[in-house]
Structures are given as C-alpha cells and as structure tokens.
Structure 1
Amino acid sequence: MFLMIGGYLTHRKHLKIVANLDEDLVELPTVSILIPAHNEEIVIEETIKAMVAQNYPKDKLEVIVVNDNSTDGTGKICDHYAQKYDFVKVLHTIPPQGGKGKSGALNQGLKHSTGELIVVYDADNTPEPEAVYQLALGISTDEKAGAVVGKFRVTNGNDNLLTRFINMETITFQWMAQAGRWNWFKLTTIPGTNFGIRRSVVEELGGWDEQALSEDTELSFRVYDLGYHIRFYPSAITWEQEPDSVKVWWKQRTRWARGNEYVIAKFLLNAKEISNKKVFLDLFYFLFVYILFFAGIIGSHAIFISQLFTNSPLTIGPVSNVLLVVGVFMFLTEIWLSLSLEKGQLTIKNALVSILMYFIYSQMWVLLVAYATLLELKRIVFKEEVKWYKTERIKKQKTS
C-alpha cells in the first residue's frame, strides 16, 4: 500500500513535469535500439513496424535486430525490412557467439551499435510512436540518470482469466510499484524491455551478465553501484504480449524468480565489493519479496493445512480474523487504485476478477517461487549450467 501511494504521487508529479518541460531546449542523443530475437517469426514483423513508426529523427536512430541463431523465418523477415530502411540493421548470430540467450544477444548487438543511448525492446513489443523519444527526453533531462525506464501494457489482457490476472499484475505490482519505489527512494529496476541506458554506462559495466536469467535486475544493481539512479518515466509506453496459458506463464515466471534469486545471491555474497549503499536498499527489497515474504506465506499456509489434519493447539483468534479481512481489503484497494489511473481499466468485471486474483493468481505465485527456489538451490549444489527459456508467442494482433 505504501508503494501504491507513492505510485499515485509519481503519476501526479509526472503530469506536472511533462506540462512544464520545454522540449525545444533538449538536445536529443543518437539512439541504437537493440531487439534480441530467437525464433520470433510470429511477432517480429509487427515489432519492426513499430520501430519504423517511431517519431524520432531517423538520422539519429538505428534499429539493430539480433537474429540470435533462429531456425525459423525470423532472419528472412528482418532482412526484408533492412533492405527497405537504411536505419534498420540485422545481425545474424550463430554459435559459439549466438544462441546463448538474451544477454548474449544484447552484448553482440552492443558491439555493432553506435548510439549514445542504448534502448532495448523485446521481440514481441509494439512501443507507441513517442516511446523512444520519451525515453530520450527522460534521460537527457536528468544528468544523474544512468538509465531510464518506461512502462508497458498488455496487448492481450482481455483474452482469458489468466491474461486478465497478468494485466492487473502489470499495472499494479509492476509499473505502479516501480513508480512507488521511484517516489520514495529514487529506486527503479530496469525491466526486460522499454528502457534506455547510456552507452558510456553499459560499456563501463562490461555489458550484460550472460549467466543471469534476470539480466535486467542484475544490470540495475550494477548501475546503482556506479552512483547513478534509474529514472522512471511513464510517458514512454510499450505494448507487449503475455502468456495465455498456465504452462507458458509458469515457465516464464520461473525464469524470472530464479533470475532474481541468482541476483540476490550474487550481490549478497559479494557485499564487500558494493560501494553504493543504495544497492543494499534495493537488495533488501528483493530479498524481502522473494525470500522473507514468500517464506512467511508458505509457513502460514503450512500451519493452516496442518490444523486441518492434526489436533494443533493453535487457534485463529479475533485479531487474526480482522487482519485477514484487512489484508484482502488492502490488496483490492491497491489494484483498484492502480486500475483507476489507466483509461478503461477500472470496470466492474475487472473489480470482480481482482477478488479471484487474490485467491487464485497470488497463490500460484507462492507455489511458483517455492518451485523456483528449489531449482535454483539444485543448480548451485550440482553446479548446473544456466539454461535460457524463451517465452512462446501467440499470433495475435494488438488490441487496446
């Protein structure tokens, strides 16, 4: 709830910032857009079209699609657009340099880029025409920002119950929570898409960590450790496709959870090397979310279930009953507040679905984090190689 209030305040402040910004005084940087693409023939054409449609000076823009060891028609589609537009380039990679996952593809793309600002989009993204321009504005008007982050919306949010859950999760627990952290602590985590980072910063950091499944979170910590902050700039908006089946969702989110746990372990074990104390604040946030909070929830569930089958002396008193009701009410209030800031989202149907979200989707996350933790512990104990899972795409057009 604390973060949601901060998110709301950020929303109000940002409207004033945009209204008072004199864009004519901003010198726009040269921009290189990197799009890692492995077997993305279903979605890559719409993504490239969205890049071509960007309202950004074309003499300051280059789009580099990294066709990362694809075995489908991704490369052919990319080559077609590269022939039509001078600022669109295609980098075809094969092993041993290619096929290592998103971080490896981004590192290869970085080597062939020239822009002062490196912007990253996933292959299923269709950013709005002003998105890149807004990212450039956000970082050009804040010299302390090492990177700038926009917000993303879901293209298939009304397809089924799962995508409705994901849509509300995206609005509430991703971009609104990001906005809240920015308001209170000037902390924002780089997402996997729709962000820009100064070339000088990413080069100083040596690029992306190819062992990290959550390369975005890992990069965020290193940016902070250099003494920069990561600016949240919600005027830059992109639309992306989300999993429409539990199977695909489970695989994708497991990668996210394992990746974030990898980052937690990496920086905790190397705490002595961290020079910026702000890193510890963000580290605690992730430690709380993925370890302490979920451990508490799992412990609570275990006690509840055990009482169903044993004669436990524990009882649920009146205070606990009140806390349960307050907890659900706060969860729903957070979602409804967040939905109210997005046009057409606070509907009766979404309000009712959010109730189901508490009892279904949230519990799915508890199971998933427990599963991901076991997999990550297994990887560490047996020194297993990190394997990247690419989210499966569905062939659908953007709807808003």
Structure 2
Amino acid sequence: MTALLGLVDAIGLLAGSFLLALLLQHLRLSWMARRFRPPAGTAVPDAGLPAVLVQVPFYNEAASVEGALASAAALDWPREKLTIQLLDDSTDDTGCILQAAIGRLPPGGPAIDHVRRAHRSGFKAGALAAGLARSVAPMVAILDVDFRAPPDWLRVAVAALLADERAAFVQFRFEFANRDRNWMTRGQQLSVDTHFCAEQAGRAAGREPFQFNGTGAVWRRAAIEDAGGWSADTLAEDLDLTFRAYAAGWHGLLALEPALQGEAPADIGAWRVQQARWSTGFVQVARKALPLIWRAAWPLPAKLGASLLLGLQAGLPCFLLAAGALLLDGGVRGFGPVHGAIATAAAIVAGVSAVAITLPPFKRLRRGGIVRYVATLTTMPALLVFLAIANSGAVMAAPFAARRDFVRTPKTGRK
C-alpha cells in the first residue's frame, strides 16, 4: 500500500507541476502582452489592391447563412476584386434559403460562388481546400458562418500583409454578440478576451508562434500552399496549418482592432460539443507538430512556448490527476495539515494568477465594473471543473485514436 501511495503521489506531483508550468507560462505571456503593438500597414489605392477570396464554410446553418452573406457582401473592397465563396456542405434546406438570399442581393455587388460538394470529405478542411482550388486570389479571408466582420476589415488586414512579405496571416480578435445572454456566455467572453489580449498578444509581442483561430483571419495564399495546404487528418485544421506555416518560415500577425462579432454557445451541451472537438484536435495536432517544432531553428523559449500551447488541453486530465491524488492520499493516510496546506496554497496561487491574467483584458476592453468582473470570474471554476470531467477522457485517448468525425458547434443565429 505504501508503494502504491508513493506512485499516486508521484503522479499527482507531476500533474501539479505541469499545471504550474501552464500557469507560469500564462503569467509570462500576460506580462509580455504589455509590449504588444498592432501590425503596421498603410492604405493602398484601389488600383493596387489584390483580389480577395472570402470563404464561408458551413453545414446545416439555416439560421445564420443570410446574415453571413449580407455581412460578407458589405465588405469594403473593389467589387471586381472580391469573391464571396459560400462553402455549403449542408444536407437540409440551408442551400435553398441561401439561393433565395443570393437572388435578393442588389446588382453590382461582389461575385458570389455557392459551392456544393457531393460529400463532406475532409469536413471544414476539405471544404476550404475545394474552394481554394476554384480561385486564384492571392489573399484568402476565412469567416465562420456566425461571424460578422466590420466593413473595413479587409482594408486593415491586407494593408498589414502587404507591409510584411513573410506574414502568412493576420488574425483578428473576436467577441461574442450574445455575451450578455447568461453566465456561461459572460464566462466565455472573459476567456476569449484573455486569450487574445494576454496569450495571443504576449506571443505576438515576443515574436513567438501563436495560433490562427479558424475564423476572423486573412491568409496569404502563398503561405497556405507553401505549408502544404489544408489537411483533414486532425480535428483542429486551423492549428495544424498554423504550425506547418511557421515551420516553413512564415509568421503570423495579430490585430486586436477592429473586432469581429461571433456567437458563443449559450448552453452547456453546445459548449461541451465545441470544447470536446477542440480538446481532441489540440492533442492530435500536438502529436503531428511537436517534431516540427523541435526540429525548427527557433529560440528555445519559442519552442517551449509552442509546446505548452499544444499541451494546453493536457491540463484538463492533469487537474483531475492532481486533485484525485491529493484526495486519495488524504483518504488513506488521513487528512492533516499538509493536505490542507497544499490545497490552500494551490487555491491562492490559482486565484491570484487568474486575477493577474484576466483583469487587464477586462479593463482594457471596458467590459464593466469590478462587481461585474468578480461575478464573471467566479463562474470560471465551475466551467473548468465541468470541462475537466467531461473532456479528460477524450484528451487522454486522442494520441492513440484515429481522427474522429467533425461535429459542428450548434448555433442558433440569435444574438
């Protein structure tokens, strides 16, 4: 029994150490984010602007397609140089609704390409690749169907790309139009604000690899092709393409303004679907990309930071392992001052760090007063514990399993 408890304690110590490493990394990025500066770019006359392809992939999204079409068609770009590509893998009446919406568009707008495939091979990655093959545009913008970009979005993005010839993409911050719907959406907004204003901005400020988030970005076509194109062998095709592009010598740019508007899952079931796909996808990409990272001629901090980014989802089972080891040890040996001290220290470190990481973005984006912040922050532990319990099994199984089906996040189309 003593030897078994020793093994349990060792596992708990390793899991806790990994959680501490993730926490220290986020504190480091939050500190580095203070040095973040938006990418440079100057306005280009319309005659000198390149052609842009805007890709909007979707599957059975009848509630969102009309808004997506209207928003994309309103983008400020020379009409003869803009194509809106609607990548429709739907099996319901979404296509009919979309065709009717296309027919109501006023004349003189951008070209509209409604792409229907006979099958969903490769899911989102397959749709994006199929659409890319139908165009020769050097700039490719990607928008999920529930995302709405401000009219000047392409102007800001392309100016930044033209000013930096080795920039593969420009990722823009996004926020949720329905963020005030309930406690879950408010918690998700705090998480996303922290992701962009602390984690992503910190990596960008330190010239370290940061991720393309799958939507709200404009890519240089040459970088997509140089990285090997879209691949459907993981559930996180966006993260996979990111690291292949970095490994090929490209880099990303981050723009915090203007922000795009999206829709957050407003119930626990939809949120779990989204998070389960992300958890599995991150682990699958880690298995594929870690060798690329450690073979690349990057500085050691960049390699360690990229590895921790890919290992982020491993924090879920590590949380359960660390907590379980402490409870099991206390249950067998009897809870004493040491167990209480460990639990208290962990809670204090986590709480203080959470405030240090999340409060600056909350204040920067003017999300409200201190009462609102505290009320929102207190929802996060419940979300994280639920996520750890719900998704740890998938995270641990992902390295040994084949790619699973792409299950889309349910969306209502309501803001």
Which TM-score band (shorter chain)?
0.7 to 0.9
Q: Which has the higher contact order (CA 8 A, sep 6+)?
A: 2
Checking the alignment, whether the CA contact within 8 Å between 1:28 and 1:140 is kept in structure 2 is no
Distance 1:77 1:305, change over 3 A: same
Match of 1:154 in 2: 176
Aligned to 1:72: 92
The equivalent position to 2:113 in structure 1, one of 70, 80, 89, is 89
Shift of residue 264, structure 1, vs aligned partner: 0.6
Q: Retained in 2: the 8 A contact 1:82–1:89?
A: no
Letter of the structure 2 residue corresponding to residue 57 of structure 1: P
Residues 1:241 and 2:263 aligned together? yes
How far does residue 298 in structure 1 lie from its aligned partner after superposition? 2.7
Pair 1:355 & 2:378 matched: yes
Q: Are 2:412 and 1:394 aligned?
A: yes
Q: Which residue of 2 aligns with 1:215?
A: 237
Q: After the TM superposition, which residues 207-356 of structure 1 pair with which residues of structure 2 at under 5 Å, given as runs?
A: 207-268=229-290, 274-277=295-298, 280-281=303-304, 283-291=306-314, 293-294=315-316, 296-307=318-329, 309-312=331-334, 315-316=338-339, 321-322=344-345, 324-346=347-369, 348-356=371-379
The 1:29–1:175 alpha-carbon spacing in structure 2 relative to 1, beyond 3 Å, is farther
1:30 aligns with 2:51: yes
Describe the SS at the equivalent of 1:76.
helix
How far the C-alpha of 1:194 sits from its partner, in A, is 0.8
Question: Structure 1 pair 369/174, CA: closer, same or farther in 2 (3 Å)?
Answer: farther
Q: Secondary structure at the match of 2:88?
A: strand
Aligned equivalents of 1:60, 1:115: Cα separation in 2? 9
Map of 1:137 onto structure 2 = 159
* 1:113-132 pair list within 5 angstroms: 113-132=135-154
> Post-superposition shift, 1:211?
1.5
Q: Write the deviation string for residues 163-209 of structure 1: whole angstroms up to 9, x where unpaired.
A: 11111111113453111111123322111101111111212333211
CA distance in 1, matches of 2:215, 2:310: 23
1:64-116 residue CA offsets vs partner (Å, 9 max, x unmatched): 00111x12232123323444344222111112xx3541101101110112311
Measured in 1, the distance between the counterparts of 2:283 and 2:233 equals: 12
TM-score (norm 2): 0.84
Offset of 1:352 from its aligned partner? 1.9
Which of 224, 248, 261 is matched with 1:202 structurally? 224
- Check conservation: 2:168, 2:220, Cα contact below 8 A: yes
Q: Please identify runs of 4+ aligned residues in structure 1 that moved more than 6 A.
A: none
- How far 1:212 moved relative to its partner? 1.5
Between the aligned partners of 1:52 and 1:86, the Cα distance in structure 2 is 7
* 1:23-55 CA distance string (max 9 Å, x none): 257943221011111111111111111111112
Match of 1:4 among 23, 30, 35: 30
Indicate the residue corresponding to 1:364 in structure 2. Answer: 386
3-state SS of paired residue (2:159)? helix
SS at match of 1:23: coil
2-structure distance, mates of 1:184, 1:40: 38
Structure 1 alignment gaps of length 5 or more: none
- Unpaired runs of 5+ residues, structure 2, are 1-26
Equivalent pair of 2:176/2:263 in contact (CA under 8 Å): yes
Percent of residue pairs bearing the same amino acid type: 20
Over 3 Å counting, the alpha-carbon distance change for 1:376 and 1:73 in structure 2 is: same
Distance of aligned partners of 1:295 and 1:39 in 2 relative to their CA distance in 1, 3 Å threshold: closer
Partner secondary structure for residue 66 of structure 1: strand
Deviations 1:305-351 (A, max 9, x none): 22453224772365873453232022023211111111334552232
Aligned with residue 181 of structure 1, among 190, 195, 203? 203
CA contact (8 A) 1:264 1:283 kept: no
Which of 294-303 and 144-153 deviates more?
Answer: 294-303
Q: What CA deviation, in whole Å up to 9, does each residue of 1:337-368 have, x standing for no partner?
A: 111111334552232220231x2122223224
TM-score scaled by length of structure 1:
0.87
Post-superposition shift, 1:258?
A: 0.5
* Structure 1 counterpart of 2:57, one-letter code: P
Q: Secondary structure at the match of 2:140?
A: strand
Q: What number of residue pairs does the alignment pair up?
A: 381
